[in-house]
Amino acid sequence: MNRWNETWNNKNRSIIILFMILSVITPFVPAVLGILLIAILLYMIKDIPLHKCNYYLFIGVVISGFLGPYLALPAFPSFFLFRILIILHMVLFLFEKKDFKKLEPVKIPLILFIVWILYSIFSLLWTGSASLSLPAIYYQIESFYLVFAFVYYMDSFAKLKQILTWILIIYVLTIFIGLWEALTGNHLIYSAGNILSYGDTRPTGLLVNTNDYSSYLAFYVPALFLALFHKKTFFKTLIGIGALGVLVFLIFETESRSGLLAFSIVVILMLYKMVKQKIIFFFGLVMGSLVGAIILIAKHGEQLTTYFTGKVNSTDQRMFMYETIYRLCKEHYFLGVGIGVTPKYVFTALYGTSNIPVDMQQTMSAHNLWLSNLSDVGVIGFFPFVVLFFWLVAHALKLYVTSKHLLATIPICILVAFFAISIGSSSIFEMRVVWLGMGLALTIICLLEKNLELGGTT
């Protein structure tokens, strides 16, 4: 008994000393608290099989990827949970027993993605700015890991359903946030409208700017349609019609032309798959479009004109940027200026090199992933990325045409949204929601093609 008491007292003493040390160190190095929490978590899950642990940890990566800086310490917004979880996941994956056979149906796009990254790393030999190239390579690796891990861990329809449930919960939450922003003019703390302190009712949801938000809505609306119309009921149909109306309202409120285009095509693709009588579908689409256009022009003609033609300066600026990038490609003989360096040249072309405030970020996104990528890594580095995209499109189209299941519609819808975003958004490299969406598309392709090989139906 005395020995037990002595051991207990020693444990108490050790815990008290540990808390005293933490109370001294934590105010100066807050990251220590995060390390301690990770250590406690690892101790708690030590008896769980590593593969199962990594599966649930990846669900945490996905959820934190959507919520971004809103799962961060207030004083350290860049040190958010996603960064911690994805690095932890990468480390644990190294010690996990691997099963790469399940990736067989999608090994080609994954290899092409790796080749694209390797050539980007190779471009460090001639890059004009290593400080810009290294972060760009990190985002490439992060994007690849999100796509790879999505396919690797979501290896069954049951697991896919589980992750889609979490994605939809966050998607619906983001819709309500967008409505609140549009109706009140208020924004969340990390919205551009709040950060830059300008009056603007355009919604941004959990993202930073309006283009990103409209892209996000277009990206994941197929998942919402799948949940509502997989098994049609009158009640679900009413909810679906209402949700579609709300989404159209939010897309218009963002004033994003690329987002509107992507959303329109995605909705048409989904509706075409859902309506059995194709003649009725086309008739309804044409008549509905005509009636809708007449009503909108009659009631909001001036606003619509402004929506499509009121961004003349923005359009002219983008055309100038595209011309600058093309000229940059020719000047470097289409060999590339180094991954992530193009924004530096675009900024110089727009603002020059004199009278620039010291605290101003001296980079400007090209607002076009394809041209920017071509300029960064040249024709050789650009080639695997283009082949990767066309592989995805070919397989997604095949599933869309041959399958009757609504799930098979999601990959091509995501790719349509990706293409629209890639020529509209300024920050696609850093948009985790985009690469998670690409991972979702590739996962569905993998599962459906594997199901066909086993003699199942799609």
Angle at 366 between CA 361 and CA 368, to 5 degrees: 145
Q: Per mean pLDDT, which range of 25-29, 110-114, 276-280, 323-327 is the poorest?
A: 276-280
Q: Is the pLDDT of residue 215 over 50?
A: yes
Nearest to 206 by CA among 248, 182, 174, 250: 174
Mean pLDDT, residues 291-296 taken together:
50
Task: Note the pLDDT of residue 280.
Answer: 54
Locate 189 and state its tokens. 């703390």
Distance in angstroms (rounded) separating the CA atoms of residues 94 and 54: 11
* Cβ-contact 120, 136 below 8 angstroms: yes
Higher pLDDT, 1 or 259: 259
Q: pLDDT band at 8, cuts 50/70/90?
A: very low
* Cβ-contact 263, 253 below 8 angstroms: no
Over residues 253-266, the pLDDT tens digits come to: 888 888 888 888 89
Locate 152 and state its tokens. 């690797």
Distance in angstroms (rounded) separating the CA atoms of residues 370 and 423: 8
Crossing angle of helices 234-254/257-274, nearest 10°?
160
Over residues 153-172, the pLDDT tens digits come to: 998 999 999 999 999 999 99
Higher pLDDT, 354 or 317: 317
Q: pLDDT band at 391, cuts 50/70/90?
A: very high
Q: Is the pLDDT of residue 111 over 80?
A: yes
Over residues 319-337, the pLDDT tens digits come to: 878 888 888 888 888 888 8
Which residues does 58 contact at the CB level (< 8 Å), separation at least 6?
Answer: 89, 149, 150, 153
Task: Note the pLDDT of residue 275.
Answer: 73
Q: Per mean pLDDT, which range of 261-270, 302-311, 410-419 is the poorest?
A: 302-311
Q: Per mean pLDDT, which range of 42-56, 161-175, 232-246, 429-443 is the poorest?
A: 42-56
Q: pLDDT band at 17, cuts 50/70/90?
A: low
